[in-house]
Chains A and B, each alone.
Chain A
Amino acid sequence: MSDQIRLKKGLDLPIAGAALCEVTRRVAPGLVAVKPTDFRGMVPRLLVKEGDPVKAGTPLFADKKNTAMVFCSPVSGTVEAVVRGDKRKLLAVTVKADGKNESVRFDVPKISSLDKKGMTDLLLQCGLWPCLKQRPYGTVADPEAEPKAIFISGMNTAPLGADRDFTLKDEMAAVQAGIDALGRLTKGGVHFSLSAKNYAGSEFHKLTGVIFHQFEGPHPAGNVGVQINHISPINKGEVVWTVDLPLVAVIGRLFLKGIYDDRRIIAVAGPAAVNPSYAEVPAGVCMKDLSAFFGEGDVRVVSGDVLSGEAVGADGFLGFYDDQVSLLKEGNYYEMFGWINPFRSKKFSVSRAYPAFLRHKKYDMDTNENGGERPFLMNDVYGKVLPMDIYPLYLFKACLAGDLDKMEQLGIYEVIEEDVALCEYVCPSKIAIQDIVRKGIELMMKEM
């Protein structure tokens, strides 16, 4: 029997445009991209040039610090462009699919025959290692590290997030194979969290070789960082690894089929989405291929959820770790006397300063800031949406001050941006809190 952990703090955002549980679009591989910027702390070394033919599973670039760690093309075709930004920083490698769907065939032994070293080398070689992320800091896992355990969240509480029970319902064998493979990498076991409300209803409770935990509560209860904090918090010097559930299936497919097969079913949702539903796409899909979902007007295309995703633009690409595209209307309008309006019935607020708590409806949220940036003033709003034993305001201020000792003491090892995203959402001072934490983490990585 698994333990049950009930979380009270947090917030389920009542945002309109949830995806209908139906795959309404199957996107054939067209233009796709692999973006080095998706992998924190990784400095890429390019392995291909424009025009090179590649297959699914051909390395496109490697990590400069550990050239064994390669990042592969998800489709077969030719390298279309090497996109660089300021100071020639590598931003993306795009691949134009040729429609042949050729894959590199890997020589995959039985999972049970592999030890940690063997498994690590195999995953590195096949370009699947980047599926593993490491806490602290949310970087790509260090193959040399000894993780305390591996954590997988089986519940997605992010606003409009993809329902993995739906997207992976035909992939149970792959998920199981992936979990078996991950089990070879750590002595601490693979921890798997499910929603307490839908424990038996979820196919995932039949998985074997995992240690189950049940969580109940609003977002961010589904965030793996929050779950780790309650299952086995990260202390100084400790390392844990996390894998997103869809990527567990990708790892599993390597062992079932012997190829790099990263097709995903993603949720395309949001207030600006036409017919919000699911789409089957190749990894790194170009947003142009999803334009049928875009509503009228000025739409922001977000790879990931509305709280911590990245605005990639209508011709951007899906992030490596994302299985969701959120579509929002841009909120670049003026609202007369908005803050004085007693009701403001079209906007949601978790604060009781507005009567939104009396209404039970979904809101067409847009990207308006709803106010100007101010210094930190209210001190009790952040703790209410962060279900961890952490004083968020003090952590943010330590990050702002660049105080390494304080950051360490106050819990920088336990959070990444997505865990504090709700703090940024509720902040009445409109402070870019994820940015503050991001800079704090980058400073820690540089100095420690």
Chain B
Amino acid sequence: MAKNFFDKVRPTFSEGGKLSWLHSAFDAFETFFFVPNRTTGKGGTHVKDCVDLKRLLIIVVLALVPALLFGIWNLGFQHSKVFGLGWGFWQMVWYGFVKIIPLYLVSYIVGLGIEFASAQMKGHEVSEGYLVSGFIIPLIVPVDVPWWMLAIAVAFAVIIGKEVFGGTGMNIWNPALLARAFLFFSYPSKMSGDSVWVGGLSKALEGGTPWKGGEVVDALSGATPLSHASLDGLSAAGTSAWNLFLGDIPGAVGETSVIAILIGALILLCTGVASWKIMCSSVLGALLVGWLGQIGGVTDIPCWEQLLLGGFAFGTVFMATDPVTSAQTETGKWIYGFLIGALCITVRLFNPGYPEGMMLAILLMNTFAPLIDHYVVNANVKRRLGRAKTV
């Protein structure tokens, strides 16, 4: 039935048709519903594996769903807690749902709009890469971020971060992180501080009208644990390691719950979509620097607790492992992941003004990933040349 529909409207979108300028969009929708009837070439491999990028990317999206669902509940929970509303479970979920939907709409309409347009301009098929980026972006920005800001950030990430390099597969930096970095540096007041991570809080503070039943002390508890990144600070904010693990704390929608992220990690590792080497080495790097900081007296947070804090877990699982912007060689992945973990914690330990290091650590290592690969590949070239001399 749906097939008939597509067959009927295909001429309209094909070359010479009235809507041929929407050809890429038509193609994207058609291939969404139907695996195309294209057959293999005459001289290549005649049979092909049934996996394609759509499948791999939908699995990443699937792996993000636990973090999203938890985040939706947590939005309502934090709001209810800070404002002393005493909401029930479904009220909290509804609040979170209403808050997050516009962010997704903005993210996908702007991002996919640009992707479709540029695919049409280049005469390519629409690549699915943005399905994942667009899903991540609302999970890592403050929930109260103005929509127009988010729209600009998304446009920046997709155009400057991706399309100018040639589109999906050619970008240097992770587009989702680039969107966040853009917001962070362009609109710092909306991106950091104690109040941005709880829905409705900054607005209430600006308005100067205190909320019913709320105290200033409650407002302080709205700060993310990272801005109190010491043991005393954490316990003063009433946050235990269990809270950090569970995730019922203020923070970006997707990154608070380590449990939900671990479920995602499990999905990614079982399906082999993300690199276990990067995840492992990132954790190792973080533990090492965290431990050094601990014995060096820089921090009193045990190194394992560093893994639960802030965006570390989310970044390690979902963003450091981006196959395009990470190191491409297997040896390189160990180095790349290790440095991300180490850098993230280093930034945390030594920069009190900017306690969250994951975003910059990943972006920095995205930049250096090609360099790491270059040396790994060169070592292979040298080894192969050396082979000639020994024979």
Contact = CB atoms under 8 A, between A and B. Distances in A.
Contacts of B45: 306-308, 421, 424-425, 434
Contacts of A333: 37
Contacts, number: 209
Interface in A365-386: 365-380, 383
A354 B377 contact: no
B1 to A, nearest CB: 10
A428 B51 contact: yes
B217 to A, nearest CB: 49
B37 A332 contact: yes
A379 B328 contact: yes
A238 to B, nearest CB: 8
Given A352-B272, A375-B127, A389-B380, A330 B39 contact: yes
Interface residues of B, number: 58
Interface stretch (B164-172, B286-294, B356-364): B164-172
B329 to A, nearest CB: 6
Contacts of A375: 127, 166-170
A416 interface: no
Interface stretch (B52-60, B98-106, B346-354): B52-60
Contacts of B166: 375
Contact of A332 (B39, B128, B380): B39
Given A235-B391, A339-B54, A377-B168, A15 B35 contact: no
B35 A339 contact: yes
Given A310-B42, A311-B42, A389-B383, A430 B35 contact: no
Nearest to B3: A334
A365 B52 CA distance: 16
Contacts of A428: 49, 51-53, 55-56
Interface string B361-379: 0000000000000000100
Interface string A381-414: 0010000011101100000000000000111000
B168 A370 contact: no
Contact of A435 (B43, B58, B329, B385): B43
Contact of B46 (A328, A332, A394, A438): A328
A13 B34 contact: no
A306 B43 contact: no
A49 B391 CA distance: 49
Give the interface size class of chain A. Answer: 35 or more
Contact of A376 (B2, B39, B47, B169): B169
Contacts of B36: 334, 369, 371-372
A393 B380 CA distance: 13
A353 B62 CA distance: 11
A243 B333 CA distance: 39
Interface string B13-57: 000000000000001000101111111111111111111111110
Interface string A207-218: 000000000000
Contacts of A309: 46
B381 interface: yes
A426 B49 contact: yes
A53 to B, nearest CB: 33
A352 B35 contact: no
Contacts of A336: 2-3, 33-35
A99 to B, nearest CB: 33
A433 B56 CA distance: 20
A26 interface: no
Given A336-B3, A378-B323, A435-B41, A307 B391 contact: no
B378 to A, nearest CB: 9
A326 interface: yes
A227 B207 CA distance: 75
A380 B125 contact: no
Interface of B: 2-3, 27, 31, 33-56, 58-59, 125, 127-129, 166-170, 270-273, 275, 323-324, 328-330, 377, 380-381, 383-385, 387-388, 391
Interface of A: 13, 15, 232-233, 235-236, 300, 302, 306-311, 326, 328, 330-340, 344, 347-354, 356, 365-380, 383, 389-391, 393-394, 409-411, 421, 424-430, 432-435, 438
23 contacts: A235-B384, A331-B39, A332-B38, A349-B51, A353-B272, A367-B39, A367-B46, A369-B36, A369-B48, A370-B35, A372-B36, A372-B38, A374-B128, A374-B169, A379-B328, A424-B44, A424-B48, A427-B49, A429-B53, A430-B48, A433-B44, A434-B43, A438-B43
